[in-house]
């Protein structure tokens, strides 16, 4: 079964008034996604999701002009061979490393979808796991900068839906972050796991002020306080308190960058995104490295149901899997465009789809509703 066509389909939607969320990387104005379709000479089609990296046109062009031609005619089931070819010809030279990783991620995900469909098996079983229930937290683009009272109300709403963990956005200012954290903990009580994400907006001074408070409220982690390549700051922050793990990984690409995290010894929770890190093939390798050091894998998940489905299957076959990041964004048509991929239970858990491959039925007619929109997805104030 050979690859006969690879196409990237960029999609966008604007956020309606009142649905914008503000966090450390800015205020959302629109959301982008890239669906990757891989076709074979046996009529099996696979779908994946490539993260747009704030430049969907660039990633789409990279797939069409550079990476797809490398893979045409290869065996569609040879995910390791396809990965290695792109690594040798693009990732390891000629720059565009992060962009190539995003592009490859979507193709790799689609190839695994093909493998599962060809075998008639859900991806989790193909990877050596089984359909099992996974703990989830309320995440996505939600719980952003807002008055502490309305933030607590939003958080309580997710708890009432069944979530036993949720993630608050930090990075506004240390003083305001602390006020919100304390208020939400008081409102929710001790039975909910509060996670936190600064979206790279912190200084070391911010981290020194906020981490002791996170320890006091027994927060599950502090995510991405600093830029992804600021290893010195991560090492220093890890010394402040052993009670709050430092999390990162959604902006790290391939196992080689995760190996740098391991060498730095500063990140205790790894968060690869299957639409960014190099796909499912590389996600499995990253999780294996982490398992040897008892590092939990809590994947970051992106815009569409394809990424959500792939992540659920991947986690169900990963021994050191932690939380699934459930998108609870108030407005995200990409999340539900292929049907409800996950449903939170009263136990606070979700499970992978049941069908072969990713278990997602893709209706391409829906793509016409979301043509790609040029321009930034966030408004940033400096």
Beta bridge partners of 321: 297
In which residue are the tokens 């007619």 written?
Answer: 365
In this structure, the strands spanning 45-50 and 30-40 are antiparallel
User: Over the stretch 121-153, which tens digit does the pLDDT of each residue have?
Assistant: 999 999 999 999 999 999 999 999 999 999 999
6-28: average pLDDT: 86
Q: Phi, psi (5° rounding) for residue 366?
A: -70, -25
SS3 270: strand
- Between CA 172 and CA 379 the distance in angstroms is 15
Residue 41: pLDDT band with limits 50, 70, 90: very high
Could you tell me which residue, 27 or 2, shows the higher pLDDT? 2
Q: Is 70 exceeded by the pLDDT of residue 24?
A: yes
What are the structural domains of the chain? 3-120 (3.30.390.10), 124-364 (3.20.20.120)
Q: pLDDT digits over 196-227, tens only? A: 999 999 999 999 999 999 999 999 999 999 99
Is the Cα dihedral 176, 179, 183, 186 positive or negative?
positive
pLDDT score, position 347: 97
DSSP letters along 236-267, please?
Answer: HHHTT-TTS-EEE-TT--HHHHHHHHHHHT--
At 247 the pLDDT is 98
pLDDT given for residue 381 in this prediction:
61
Please state the rounded mean pLDDT for residues 61-84: 98
Q: Confirm if 49 and 29 have CB atoms less than 8 A apart.
A: no
Q: What is the mean pLDDT of residues 228-243?
A: 95
Gyration radius from the chain CA atoms: 20
Averaged confidence pLDDT in the chain:
95
**Residue keyed to tokens 């790279």:** 200
Q: Please write the tens of the pLDDT for every residue from 304-318.
A: 999 999 999 999 999
pLDDT of 382 > 70? The answer is no
Q: Give the chain's end-to-end CA distance (angstroms, integer).
A: 52
Percentage of residues of the chain with pLDDT beyond 90: 88
Banded model confidence at residue 18, pLDDT cuts 50, 70, 90: confident
Structure tokens at 90: 């693009």
What length does the chain have?
A: 382
**pLDDT digit string, tens, across residues 101-112:** 999 999 999 999
Separation CA 192–CA 152 (nearest Å): 12
Please name the helix (run of DSSP H) or strand (run of DSSP E) that holds residue 197, with its range, or none. Answer: strand 193-197
169-182 tens-digit pLDDT: 999 999 999 999 99
In the predicted structure, residue 273 carries a pLDDT above the cut 70: yes
Taking the C-alpha atoms of residue 358 and residue 231, their distance in angstroms, rounded to an integer, is 35
| H helical segments located in the chain | 56-62, 68-71, 79-86, 97-119, 123-126, 148-161, 174-188, 204-216, 231-238, 254-264, 279-292, 305-316, 333-336
Both tokens of 319, joined, read: 């021994």
Measured distance CA(85)–CA(93) in Å, rounded: 12
Q: Has residue 184 got a pLDDT over 90? A: yes
Q: What pLDDT shows up at residue 340? A: 87
Tracing tokens 């900068």 back to the chain, one arrives at 145
The string of pLDDT tens digits covering residues 323-372 is 999 999 998 999 989 988 999 999 999 999 999 999 999 999 999 999 99
CA 128 – CA 109 distance, rounded (Å): 16
**How crowded is residue 125: how many other Cβ atoms within 10 Å of its Cβ?**
18
Contact between 122 and 357 (Cβ < 8 Å):
yes
């Amino acid at each position: 079964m050979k690859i006969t066509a690879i196409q990237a389909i960029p999609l966008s939607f604007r956020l309606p008034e009142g649905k914008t969320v503000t966090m450390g990387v800015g205020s959302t104005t629109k959301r982008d996604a890239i669906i990757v379709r891989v076709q074979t000479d046996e009529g099996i089609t696979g779908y994946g999701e490539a993260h747009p990296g704030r430049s969907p046109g660039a990633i789409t062009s990279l797939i069409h002009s550079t990476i797809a031609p490398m893979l045409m005619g290869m065996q569609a089931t040879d995910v390791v061979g396809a990965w290695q070819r792109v690594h040798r010809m693009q990732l390891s030279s000629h720059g565009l490393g992060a962009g190539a990783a995003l592009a490859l991620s979507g193709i790799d995900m689609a190839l695994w979808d093909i493998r599962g469909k060809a075998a008639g098996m859900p991806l989790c079983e193909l990877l050596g796991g089984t359909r099992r229930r996974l703990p989830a937290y309320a995440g996505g683009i939600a719980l952003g900068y807002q008055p502490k009272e309305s933030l607590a109300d939003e958080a309580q709403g997710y708890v009432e839906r069944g979530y036993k963990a949720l993630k608050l956005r930090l990075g506004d200012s240390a003083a305001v972050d602390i006020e919100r954290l304390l208020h939400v903990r008081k409102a929710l009580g001790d039975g909910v796991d509060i996670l936190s994400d600064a979206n790279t907006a912190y200084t070391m001074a911010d981290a020194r002020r906020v981490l002791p408070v996170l320890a006091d409220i027994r927060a599950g982690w502090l995510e991405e306080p600093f830029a992804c390549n600021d290893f010195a700051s991560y090492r220093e922050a890890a010394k402040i308190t052993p009670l709050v793990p430092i999390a990162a990984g959604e902006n790290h690409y391939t196992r080689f960058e995760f190996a740098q995290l391991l060498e730095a010894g500063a990140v205790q929770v790894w968060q690869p995104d299957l639409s960014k890190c190099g796909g499912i093939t590389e996600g499995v390798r990253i999780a294996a490295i982490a398992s040897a050091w008892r590092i939990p894998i809590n994947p970051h998940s992106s815009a569409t149901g394809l990424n959500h489905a792939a992540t659920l299957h991947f986690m169900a076959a990963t021994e050191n899997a932690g939380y699934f990041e459930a998108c609870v964004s108030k407005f995200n048509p990409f999340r539900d465009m292929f049907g409800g991929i996950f449903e939170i239970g009263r136990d606070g858990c979700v499970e992978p789809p049941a069908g072969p491959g990713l278990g997602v039925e893709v209706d391409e007619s829906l793509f016409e509703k979301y043509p790609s929109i040029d321009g930034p997805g966030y408004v940033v104030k400096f």
